[in-house]
Chain A
């Protein structure tokens, strides 16, 4: 399958190839400020306020925070589904705003949170759509061509990885939430991205498939190369599977660091404004978050 990206150079390798001393960042976020246009006139509150951080290539970064803390907005900015009012985002050294949408799509795969599907595309058709950014550009600029044999082979491989190959002929509208979510992750992987952005990847999954998603993240991380940024309300998922965690509250960074630095009782209680228990996972030794039991008096 060599040469999948031949002729599809994303032009992003230059940063990494020439940079010996300076570390290569997948994303660099500088003094980012963002608010939605419609709310601009009503109040001046920033959804994201003065955010600066870097995401190293090959890193798995978890973004957590209470509802309304700006997690999804941040993911939208990283995928350039929205543009910041101030500050900037670079993707492998290139300014994101200067890139074409298909250039970004060849580098960044996005798994959205909303999995509502309207039209009965089959699972195989849905996953193959991930190959759309890699279509050859013809001189007429048409978008009615066919996927190549290479595209089909890549789609099948990612379907095997995400355990949806047996669903290939099923319509996505007939799938359970978990099956649909795995199909969407397969579609993003079919983009053969260098960065994978996941919005609540385990929200619809049962325990078995949550573990599977975790192990897929582990495999992708172990093999190196793929940078993963995931948003989740599941603090245990990010603690177990992420290299670093970005904790947001009211659009600002509260903590950014390894799980031991961020998943910490006092920090979580002040951000989430409720009681939590943090202990160690018996297998990994990483922080584990538990809700207070009903027998536990408030303030005990």
Chain B
């Protein structure tokens, strides 16, 4: 009987690598280096995207009921940044200044922040659920937030719907409620199976949607219209203090999510493979799931249900730049933010002075693009 030697000093595969035996000698990774994400490529792409974002934001600030000339706009922005109060004697300039700094700028910034958050959460959920169709709505958290806000309206939280300060809080509470329900329902034997998570999300979405429709149907027509617009996704001009609150909250959540970028690469391979590559998948899933729910709840509470960005943007960016989440996540965030800024500008200018809910623009732009992607994939597979 042939038996291998069972004794003797152990030698690891690394030892063999280190003494040059066993594996062919290579030029120290030159081939691999050309086929992976490098720091210089990351900086180049993110730099180009950042410049595009700045350019698009200037265009968005320019357009509106009263277009502001680019030179004037830059002068006002620079004077605001340097706290220069010169030229305030001119009443017309004052109005322009107010329009730019108090109305358009906060709204453009909010649009960027919401777009960033939706696209980032989309990237993370697609990797975590291993489903390229996943987006922030699949877990039912956004429906929960919407239901919370709808209940707020039903309980008479103010007369003018979108001016309510209480409604974001109601929406946020609804999002947390949905998170707790999904979490408790989907968890079994101290594990969080992804299929249970998806199924629970689908069921919760159905229940919450029905409840929202019920609430909408019993509201008086004025408030019902406001809520329908909000449900379709609408951005408004926030106050700077409100904007800073949202910025701080979302920034912290997104930074915590961005910390997991390399782990997301591994999680995207599937749970078992991720575990064999050293990830505590249960812990990673829990923390990422909670963070995505918190971001989604906050975003829905300030902007309603803006669809398709979380699904389409990561998909398109992945096709363009590859699947490495260290680039995919920040790049999708920038593209998502830029896309929503542009979409919102269209929403407020296309048939001005009437505003279209921005969710309609994103759905009309994103839906056909998604169908195109599916057809493209089908052709490619064929």
Contacts and interface: CB of A to CB of B under 8 A. Distances in A.
Nearest to B380: A174
Contacts of A226: 13, 16
B263 interface: yes
Contact of B263 (A140, A143, A221, A224): A143
A221 B24 CA distance: 16
A79 B25 CA distance: 30
Among A20, A133, A140, A144, the one with the most B-chain Cβ atoms within 10 Å of its Cβ is A144
Nearest to B319: A120
A56 interface: yes
A92 B9 CA distance: 12
Contacts of A277: none
Interface in A136-187: 140, 142-147, 149, 152-161, 165, 168-169, 171
A44 interface: no
A191 B12 CA distance: 11
Given A57-B10, A106-B278, A169-B34, A156 B5 contact: no
A298 interface: no
B318 interface: yes
A2 interface: yes
A19 B268 CA distance: 41
A128 interface: yes
Given A125-B323, A168-B32, A143 B3 contact: no
B15 interface: yes
Contact of B26 (A17, A157, A224): A157
Contacts of B20: 1
A101 B275 contact: yes
Contact of B11 (A108, A145, A225, A258): A225
A109 B259 CA distance: 25
Given A16-B10, A194-B12, A112 B273 contact: yes
A102 B280 CA distance: 8
A121 interface: yes
Given A119-B323, A144-B259, A219-B22, A124 B12 contact: no
Interface of B: prevailing SS: loop
A180 B5 CA distance: 33
B4 A56 contact: yes
A118 B377 CA distance: 13
Interface string B1-39: 111111101111111111111111111111111111101
Contacts of A37: 189
B39 A146 contact: yes
Contacts of A73: none
B24 A192 contact: no
B190 to A, nearest CB: 11
Nearest to B24: A160
Interface in A202-235: 219-221, 223-226
A45 interface: no
Closest 7 CB pairs of A and B: A105-B278, A152-B29, A102-B278, A23-B6, A133-B278, A124-B35, A143-B263
28 contacts: A2-B18, A4-B18, A92-B10, A100-B280, A105-B275, A105-B278, A112-B276, A114-B270, A119-B318, A120-B318, A121-B268, A122-B322, A128-B36, A130-B277, A132-B277, A132-B278, A143-B261, A143-B262, A153-B28, A156-B29, A157-B23, A157-B24, A161-B23, A194-B10, A194-B13, A220-B13, A225-B15, A243-B4
